[in-house]
Amino acid sequence: MIAELGQLTLIIAALLALAQFAFPIYGAWRNNQSFMAMGNSTAYGQFVFVSIALGILTYSFLVQDFSLAYVANNSNSDLPIIYRISAVWGAHEGSLLLWVFIITLWTVAVTVVSSRKTSVLPKAFSARVIAILGLVSFGFLLFVIFTSNPFDRILPAPFDGRDLNPLLQDIGLIIHPPMLYLGYVGFAVAFAFAIAALLGGEINREWVRWARPWTLLAWSFLTFGIALGSWWAYYELGWGGWWFWDPVENASFMPWIVGTALLHAQAVTEKRGSFIGWTLLLSISAFSLSLLGAFLVRSGVITSVHAFASDPTRGVFILMYLGVIVGGSLALYALRVPKMISGSGFTWFSRESLILINNLLLTVALFMVLLGTLYPIIADAFGMGKISVGPPYFGSLFIVIMAPLVMLIPLAAYSRWKQDKAGRVLSKLLVPLFISIAVTAMVAWQNDASNLRTLSGVFAGTWVISGTLRYTIERFRKNNRFTLPRSEFAMVLAHIGVGVFVIGVAMVETTSTEKHLAMGSGDSYTIAEYQFTFKGTEHIDGPNFSAERGTFLVTKNGKLISTMYPEKRQYRNNQIMTEAALDPGFTRDLYVSLGDPLDEARQIWAVRIYEKPFIRWIWLGALMMTFAGLIALSDRRYRRKKTHQNEPSAEPSNNTNPLTNGSMP
C-alpha cells in the first residue's frame, strides 16, 4: 500500500513542478507579485513530496518489500542495512529519483537564498530562475513516472531479492552518486540563471555575479564526485586503474570540462564585463552536457554496441527532453544574445587573453572527448561496422591539449587585466622555472625508471606549484601579512591542486611497477625493493558472501612493513568479486589482488602485485580543487548585503584575482 502512496506523491510533485514553472513565469511576465511568490511555495511543496517519495522507497528497502520490482532486483534479505540504504540509488529508477530529489534540493536552496531580505536578486529574476528549475524538474518527474517508476510491483512477489550488485556494496558507492548528482544537477542552477537573464533581457555582468557562487558549489561537488568515483574504481574493481575513459566516465567528465571553462569565463565577465555571450553559452552547455550524459548512460545508445541492455523508450524520452530544454535554450540564446561585444577591450597578453586560451583549450578537449565517446554511434549510423575507440586515443590527445593549459597557469595568475607584458610576468617566474628544472633533474637522477614522459609531468606539476607559490609569497610581501582574500586563496589552492594532480598522474602512469604472475603458497616475488611472500589462502564467510582470503607478507630490506589480505569473494547471487588489498602511502601504494586459482590443491593462484608511486596525489589534487571551490564560495563579496553597482574593475588589477579555479583534471 505504501508504495502506491509513493507513486501518488510523485504525481503530486510533478503537478507542483508544473505550477512552479507556470505561475512565476507568468508573474514575471505580467509583473504580478503574488504569482511570482507562488514559485516559492510550490518549490517547497515539491521538495516535501519528492522527499516523501524517496523516504518511502528507502523504507521499502529497509523492510525488504520484494513485491517492488526495484527492491527485488537490488536487494536481498542478507544485505547489510547500510547497503539497503545505498541500494536506493543503486540502479536506474532509484538513482533517477535521487536526481529529482537533488533538483528540488537545489531549488529550495535558491529559493531560500533569493527570498532573504538581504537578497540582491530582483524579484522577477529570481521568479524566472525558480520557474526554469521547475520546468527542469517537471521533465524528470514525468520521466520517472512514465518510464522508470521505482514503485512498480512485481507479482507474484519473489521470495527473496536478487541482491545488490556486490560492486556497489561499498562505502565509496554510498556517497559517490549523491555527490556526482549534486554536481550535475547543480549546473542546472547556473543554467536557470542564464536562461532567466536571456528571458528578462538583463544580460549584464550582474547575473554572472549571482550565478557564480552556485556554479562554484556545483563544480566542487562534481569534482569531488568524480574523484570519489575514481578512488572507488581503484580499490574496488580489482585491477588498480584510476581512470578508464569509458563512455560512462566521459559522461561525467564532459560537464566538468565545461564547468571549469565556465568558472574561468565567469571570472572575466564578472570583473571586466567581457565574454558575456560566451559565458551564457557555457552556462547552457554545462547543464546540457549533464543531460547528454544522462542520455548516453541510460538509453543504451552507447553500450548497445557491445551489450544488450537498453531501453529505447527511455532513450526516446530523454532525447525529447533534451530537444525541448537544450534546443529551446539554444534558440533563446540565438535570439537574445547581445549583438554588441560589451566590456572593455584587452590586448594579446593580458589575463583576459590567457583565460580565453584556457577556454579554447578546454573547448577543444571537450570536443575531443565528445567525438571519441560518440564515434561508435557515428560509425554505426553510417554502417561502418561495430567499432570502439581505444583509451589511448583519449589519453594521448588529452595530454597534448592540456599541456599548454597547465604551463600557462602561473602566467595567468600573475598577469594583469586588460594589458600586460609577457616579459614582466616571465621575469617573475624565473625562480619557479629554476626550481622546476632542479626538481626534475633530481627526479631524473634519483629514479632510473623515469623517462621523458615522467619528467615532463614532474616539470609541469612543479612549475605550476612553484609558480603559484611564488605568486602567493609576493602577495604576502605586498600586503605585509600572511593572508589572502578568500577568492584569491581559492585560486592559489586550486592551481596547486592541479600541480599535485599532474605530478600524481605522471608518476603513476609512467613509473608504476605491475606484475601479474602465478604464485604458490610460500613463493616470494620482489618489485621495487618490496618483497611479497604469499602465505596461502583460507576460507572465510561474510554476511552475504564466502571468500578465499590470501595472506601476503611484505618486507623491505628484511623488515616486515605490511601484511596484506586480498580476497576472492563469491556472493550468494553467484557474483564473484575481487577484493584487492592495499597498503596506502603518501609516496606509493602497494596493491595485491587475487586472480583465479590455477591449482587449488597446491594453492597456486594468479596474482596481481602493483607498486603505484604517488597515486594518492591524484585524489589529493582533486580534493584541493574541491576545497578551493568551497572556499571561493565563502568569499566576502557573495555575503555582502548590497553589492554596489560601481566598477569592480576600478580596483587595481593585482588585487582582484579571479577565481581561476582548477584547469585540468
Partner 1 sequence: MKRWLPLISFAILAILLGFGLKNADTKSLIPSPLIDKPAPDFNLPLVGQPEVFVSKSDLLGTTYLLNVWGSWCAACRVEHPFMNQLSRSGILPVVGLNWKDEPTEAIAWLKQFGDPYSINMSDYSGRTAIDFGVYGAPESFIIDAKGNVRYKHIGVLNQQIFEREIQPLLATIAREVSGQ
Partner 2 sequence: MTPTRKKRLTVVLLILLGVSVAAAIAMTALQENLLYFLSPSEVAEQQMPTGRQFRLGGLVKEGSVNRATDSLKIRFRVTDGLKEVEIHYDDILPDLFREGQGIIAIGSLDNNRVFQADEVLAKHDEEYMAPEVADALQKAGHPRASKDSTSVAPSEYKP
Q: Which of residues 567-626 bind partner 2 (CB under 8 A)?
A: 568, 575-578, 595-596, 598-599, 602, 604, 606, 608
CB of 139 to partner 1, least distance (A): 15
CB of 43 to partner 2, least distance (A): 24
Which of 142, 145, 337, 435 lies at the binding interface for partner 1 (CB under 8 A)? 337
* 3-state secondary structure (DSSP) of residue 393: helix
Binding mask 8-47 for partner 2 (x = CB under 8 A): ----------------------------------------
Q: Which residues pair with 548 in a beta bridge?
A: 539, 568
Residue 446 contacts by C-beta under 8 Å, 6 or more apart in sequence? none
Site for partner 2 in 485-544 (CB under 8 A): 516-518, 520
Which of 252, 274, 283, 544 lies at the binding interface for partner 2 (CB under 8 A)? 252
Task: Evaluate whether 408 touches 354 at the Cβ level (below 8 Å).
Answer: yes
CB of 394 to partner 2, least distance (A): 8
CB of 181 to partner 2, least distance (A): 6
Question: CB pairs under 8 A, 24+ apart, for 598-603?
Answer: 598/518, 599/520, 602/520, 602/521, 603/520, 603/521, 603/536, 603/537
The reply on whether position 307 binds partner 2 by CB under 8 A is yes
Closest to partner 1 by CB, 307 or 452:
307
Closest to partner 1 by CB, 371 or 518:
371
Q: Which residues pair with 578 in a beta bridge?
A: 568
Binding mask 201-220 for partner 2 (x = CB under 8 A): --------------------
Distance CA 405, CA 426 (A): 16
What's the per-residue H, E or C state across 135-166? HHHHHHHHHHHHHCCCCCECCCCCCCCCCCCH
Q: Which of 569, 512, 562 is nearest to 537 (CA)?
A: 569
Which of 233, 492, 503, 623 lies at the binding interface for partner 2 (CB under 8 A)? 233
Distance CA 145, CA 395 (A): 40
Q: Which residues pair with 560 in a beta bridge?
A: 555
The reply on whether position 392 binds partner 2 by CB under 8 A is yes
Closest to partner 2 by CB, 369 or 443:
369
Site for partner 1 in 259-278 (CB under 8 A): 277
Beta-carbon neighbour count of residue 22 at 10 Å?
Answer: 18
Contact partner at residue 74 from partner 1, partner 2, none, CB < 5 to 8 Å by partner kind: partner 2
Beta-carbon neighbour count of residue 172 at 10 Å?
Answer: 17
CB of 356 to partner 2, least distance (A): 9
Closest to partner 1 by CB, 107 or 544:
544
Convert 390-400 to b/e letters by CB count within 10 Å (16 or more is b).
Answer: eeeebeebbbe
Residue ranges that bind partner 1, judged by CB under 8 A: 69, 72-73, 154, 156, 158, 162, 277, 281, 284-285, 288, 292, 295, 299-302, 304, 306-310, 312, 315-316, 319, 322-323, 326-327, 330-331, 333-334, 337, 374, 377-378, 380-381
